[in-house]
Copies of this chain bind each other. A is one copy, B any other.
């Protein structure tokens, strides 16, 4: 099944995908749209014309009202849009509401409530352990028992295309502590999961991911490794992360990732009861990490240890509330191979092994002016591949 929209077939944004975002034309108010090929479908006026009850949800500058509608509302909307964009008889009706992507600007799609970041990739955690504690077990005792996580700063989340200013902070330099711009600015290739449905304090069952998560976006959790290292005993990362987190503009529905579901790696010891999930609980999503014009890594999310259903079950098991717009992320995704590492900390092995970019320059950490782009793709439900929205950001000087 393919769309009648010119160019949609084979673009990664055909009717088997249909990600949600927020856009505005020049001088327009921002509103909700769905991407199809190189166009965005303007849902609010089309929904109003068709007397859709949900049309008002799209006349909003964030996805939050739509997120609050919950899983049945998401499915109705997906069915409606899929029908409009796949059946040629709707072309005359729909075409006036298709806007070329290059004529709109994309906004932060979600007003994020709480942002939780996890540490769920085993290969990443082992690499970090080997770099910082070479003589100890690379995984801490709790790591295979529960998904380790922490709260990040939701107010610092920005949309793709936003510049990122190199942060200043206190860091150890030899025996001194200095207050300077970070010299170890890093990227982290991650996926973020967008929560919807009603506000609740109820723990989420490990089988209920689709009831509480609309979809996935690509996320770069920028990190200043030297600031982070100095500050984080004993309460964890703070200013080394809170200056910026970039996300893609398009939320790929979980419904578009059915064909991407894969079994988790074996989990030993068997997790606590609340962390047991119905397989296949993993997702076969391939990430790409670009620094300027060089593809520096291709982390495979299928190798992640903890699944998103387990992350969500864990973060709510203590009765913590969920609200529409909450976001939880995987933490850096790394695979077993050297070229599958999702951070420069790992790619440069703690700054000790510089690597080359296509222009011949070398990097350990990011330089001012560098542009980092994360991309991702996955098997689509119609046999080809879908492309998740990229997230890109340029480093500007402190």
Residues of A near any B CB (own CB < 8 A): 113-114, 116, 119, 140-142, 145-146, 148-156, 165, 167-170, 177, 179, 199, 201, 224, 227, 230-240, 242-244, 272-274, 314-315, 317-323, 326
Contacts and interface: CB of A to CB of B under 8 A. Distances in A.
Nearest to A129: B234
A236 B239 contact: no
Contact of A320 (B113, B149, B153, B179): B153
A241 to B, nearest CB: 9
B177 A145 contact: yes
A327 to B, nearest CB: 11
B238 A167 contact: no
Given A113-B155, A151-B153, 7 more contacts: A150-B151, A150-B236, A153-B320, A165-B319, A234-B236, A235-B236, A244-B319
A85 to B, nearest CB: 35
A393 B81 CA distance: 48
B119 A239 contact: no
A169 B235 CA distance: 19
Contact of A169 (B150, B199, B317): B317
Given A165-B319, A179-B273, A235 B237 contact: yes
Query: 8 tightest CB-CB pairs across the interface, nearest first?
Result: A236-B236, A167-B318, A151-B151, A150-B235, A243-B318, A235-B236, A179-B272, A242-B320
A234 B137 CA distance: 14
Contacts of A323: 155
Contacts of A179: 272-274
A142 B317 contact: no
A331 to B, nearest CB: 9
